[in-house]
Amino acid sequence: MSLRKVLIPTLAIVIFLILWEALVWINGWPNYKMASPSDLVPAFKQYWPLFLSMGWQTLWRTVVGLLIAIVVGTLLGMVMGFSKTMREALYPLLVGFNAIPKATVVPIVALMFVGAHDFNTILIAFMISFFPIAVSISIGLSTLEPEYRDILRALGASKATIFWKIALPKTLPEFFGALKVAVTLAFIGTNLMEIVSPHGRGLGALFDSGKTNSDYPLMFAVLIALAFLGIVLYYVVVALERIFAGWAEREPT
Amino acid sequence: MQHLIDIKNVHLSYDTASGKLPVLDGFDMSVPEGGFVAVVGPSGCGKSTLTRLIAGLMKPDSGEVWLDGQQVTSPRATVGMAFQNPVLLEWRSILKNIMLPLEIVPTKLTKAQQEERARYLLSLVGLEGFEQKRPSELSGGMRQRASLCRALIHQPDVLILDEPFGALDAFTREDLWQIMHDVKEREPFTGVMITHDLRESIYLADQVVVMSGRPAKTQYVLDLPVTGPRSIDTLYTPEAADMLKILRHQIEVAQGRAPAAQNEGRAPAASNQGSNQ
């Protein structure tokens, strides 16, 4: 990666922090109205072991939820991509399911599997993030130009061969586009569970304890930590995309 | 004469929302081994359906499709196909794209021999040096040439071309016509080419078949006086002009814009055999 690619985003973040600091300073807002970046430094300093352990809790549950979303989303997408009947049958169900605000699902899930906090959190992270993956795969497969299929079919290739050699790789760019959306969604899911039904685990719980203790800088610090994790995971996806679907990237002209 | 491709009285209709749509209605065609037939006809007359029938991707409702003495009921590895859309796989190099059929079709060639053959075909169409390039780095004409190599890599008996040069500009198209003649000389095949370009049909083929409007049957067959490689100058002779005029008229008849009677049974040129069927 070139220096430029690191420098420009870093500079953008620094400018953002300066503007934020200035906004709070000019308005003379107390930290319970809005904490400034300079308030966050002590918060991080004071609670860093908590940030590490809670951040890890949030991260691994999000990643597991996301992995399940990838598997289930891909399978659903394949079913809908290859079968028109299944597509017509499943789309309304999926759209309906996706339209339900997940905040309302959290208490239901929490009651359904009482005490299984890790499981519940992963479940919500999965539920909120599989939809874009399923849709992208199904669209990628169903819009495959017939000629692509025909060049292999005319030689007697099986459906599975056509899927592995053509349909799947051709769908990868769409898949990674959806995965980038799914990453942020999965974080929302994890935190939803951690905040609405806290079990003292994860950054959501830390946020919640900041709220109970009126520790406003801590709450803001949690938001920044979440944003940081989101950015990290996003760039992991970008790196994977470059490895597996780098061919779809055109040289800027 | 032994015919490599024999299509006998084929009927086929598609199921659509508004009922059956007949596409082919008693279509006949034969291509001798090593022959090259161009099929022309009005838009939507079932030309692409015809290629899918020969490739075994579809079955006729009635009638028979024979390939090399065997009735076609399913796809077979002895066929190579190229379309107007070159459908190269963007994630593979040109070389890997061309070797794709060898991953499906059983082959006796070793990996090294496969690669050697791919390189040979690329050099045949003037693409040496592009083996490791991605399809996106190639121009439209170059992609079409690569697509042609891919269709030939497994040494098919039959090459089916569905408007292969339809999306190319006129100059690139003439280049590719020349390349087609060169390739056919070194890599003999029996060819069926769907085209909208009448000049292309009389320059490349040994015989031009005109399909009638939908539902299509064989409306007219034009045997060309010269077969095999020929100079592009043959397109600018009075004989060529006559043939083009006749084919144009036949297309108009197929479109229903001209009465059929006018040219009934007339031989296209003194030395040629034209027939109405």
Which tens digits make up the pLDDT trace of B200-232? Answer: 999 999 999 999 888 888 888 989 888 888 888
Strand partners, A228: none
Is the distance from CB of B67 to CB of B156 less than 8 angstroms?
A: no
pLDDT in tens, A45-97: 999 999 999 999 999 999 999 999 999 999 999 999 888 899 999 999 999 99
Domain assignment present for residue A125? The answer is yes
Q: Which of A151, A157, A170 has its CB closest to that of B81?
A: A151
Is the distance from CB of A216 to CB of A35 less than 8 angstroms?
A: yes
Chain A residues with CB under 8 Å of B77 CB are: 155-156
Domain assignment present for residue A136? The answer is yes
Structure letter (DSSP) for residue B216: B
Residue A62 main-chain phi, psi, to 5 deg: -65, -45
Domain assignment present for residue B68? The answer is yes
- With CA atoms as reference, the chain A residue closest to B77 would be A155
pLDDT at position B272 over 80 = no
Lookup: tokens for B232: 């592009």
Angle between helices B170-186 and B140-152 (to 10 degrees): 20
Give the amino acid at B272: N
Report the CATH number at residue B263: 3.40.50
How many domains does chain A contain in total?
1
Q: How many CB atoms lie within 10 A of CB B156?
A: 22
Structure letter (DSSP) for residue B68: T
Q: What is the spatial distance between Cα A180 and Cα B107, in angstroms, rounded to a whole number?
A: 42
B58 touches chain A (CB under 8 A): no
DSSP states of A232-248 as a string? HHHHHHHHHHHHHHGGG
Q: What is the spatial distance between Cα A246 and Cα B177, in angstroms, rounded to a whole number?
A: 35
B105 touches chain A (CB under 8 A): yes
Q: Give the β-pairing of B190-194 and B158-162.
A: parallel
Cα A237 versus chain centre, distance: 10
* Sheet with B218-223, side-by-side order of all strands: B79-83, B158-162, B190-194, B36-40, B207-211, B218-223, B274-276
Chain A residues with CB under 8 Å of B79 CB are: 154-155
Lookup: tokens for A246: 């780098």
Residue B258 main-chain phi, psi, to 5 deg: -135, 145
Q: What is the spatial distance between Cα A35 and Cα A38, in angstroms, rounded to a whole number?
A: 8
Chains A–B, number of C-beta pairs less than 8 Å apart: 61
Could you tell me where the beta strands, DSSP code E, fall in chain B?
Answer: 3-16, 19-32, 36-40, 62-67, 70-71, 79-83, 158-162, 190-194, 207-211, 218-223, 274-276
pLDDT in tens, B230-264: 888 888 999 889 999 999 999 888 888 777 654 44
Torsion of CA A170, A171, A177, A183, to 10 degrees: -130
Lookup: tokens for A217: 């800088």
Chain A residues with CB under 8 Å of B81 CB are: 150-151, 154
Judge: A147–B74 Cβ closer than 8 Å, yes or no: no
Domain assignment present for residue B41? The answer is yes
Q: Which of A150, A151, A169 has its CB closest to that of B91?
A: A169
Domain assignment present for residue B128? The answer is no
B81 touches chain A (CB under 8 A): yes
Per-residue pLDDT band for B268 (boundaries 50, 70, 90) equals: very low
| First-last CA distance in chain B | 19
pLDDT in tens, B39-75: 998 887 788 888 889 998 888 888 889 988 888 888 8
* Helix, strand, coil fractions of chain B, as percent rounded to 5: 35, 25, 40
Domain assignment present for residue A12? The answer is no
Domain assignment present for residue B147? The answer is no
Domain assignment present for residue A3? The answer is no
CA distances A236 to A176, A242, B64, B194, Å, are 11, 10, 56, 48
Q: Which of residues 155-174 of A touch B (CB under 8 A)?
A: 155-157, 161, 165-166, 169-170, 172
Is the distance from CB of B50 to CB of B96 less than 8 angstroms?
A: no
Residue A176: the pLDDT is: 94
Give A70→chain B minimum CA distance, Å: 22
How many domains does chain B contain in total?
1
Of B174, B206, B173, nearest to B189 by C-alpha is B206
Judge: B104–A155 Cβ closer than 8 Å, yes or no: yes
Residue B261: the pLDDT is: 55
B15 touches chain A (CB under 8 A): no
* Sheet with B19-32, side-by-side order of all strands: B19-32, B3-16, B62-67, B70-71
Residue with the two structure tokens 């609670």? A47
Per-residue pLDDT band for A133 (boundaries 50, 70, 90) equals: very high
Q: Best residue in A149, A151, A161, A243 to probe B by mutation, most B CBs within 10 Å? A: A151
Residue with the two structure tokens 């006086």? B225
Residue percentage of chain A with pLDDT more than 70: 98
Judge: B79–A154 Cβ closer than 8 Å, yes or no: yes
Q: What is the spatial distance between Cα A165 and Cα A10, in angstroms, rounded to a whole number?
A: 40
Q: What is the spatial distance between Cα B54 and Cα B193, in angstroms, rounded to a whole number?
A: 12
pLDDT at position B26 over 70 = yes
Residue B26 main-chain phi, psi, to 5 deg: 75, 50
pLDDT at position A131 over 90 = yes
Residue A119: the pLDDT is: 92
Strand partners, A219: none
Q: Give the β-pairing of B70-71 and B218-223.
A: unpaired
Judge: B134–A153 Cβ closer than 8 Å, yes or no: no
Task: Give the domain range for residue A69.
Answer: 44-248
Give B88→chain A minimum CA distance, Å: 8
pLDDT in tens, B105-124: 888 889 999 999 999 999 98
Q: What is the spatial distance between Cα B86 and Cα A124, in angstroms, rounded to a whole number?
A: 44
Of A53, A52, A24, nearest to A38 by C-alpha is A24
Judge: B75–A247 Cβ closer than 8 Å, yes or no: no
Task: Give the domain range for residue B248.
Answer: 3-78+157-165+198-276
Strand partners, B27: B10
Q: What is the spatial distance between Cα B220 and Cα B265, in angstroms, rounded to a whole number?
A: 9
A139 touches chain B (CB under 8 A): no
Cα A59 versus chain centre, distance: 11
What's the maximum distance between 2 C-alpha atoms anywhere in chain A?
Answer: 74
Report the CATH number at residue A58: 1.10.3720.10
Chain A residues with CB under 8 Å of B150 CB are: 151
B55 touches chain A (CB under 8 A): yes
Chain B residues with CB under 8 Å of A155 CB are: 75, 77, 79, 101, 104-105, 154
Strand partners, B10: B27
Q: Is A140 exposed, middle or buried (0-12, 13-18, 19+ CB in 10 A)?
A: buried
A230 touches chain B (CB under 8 A): no
Give A169→chain B minimum CA distance, Å: 8
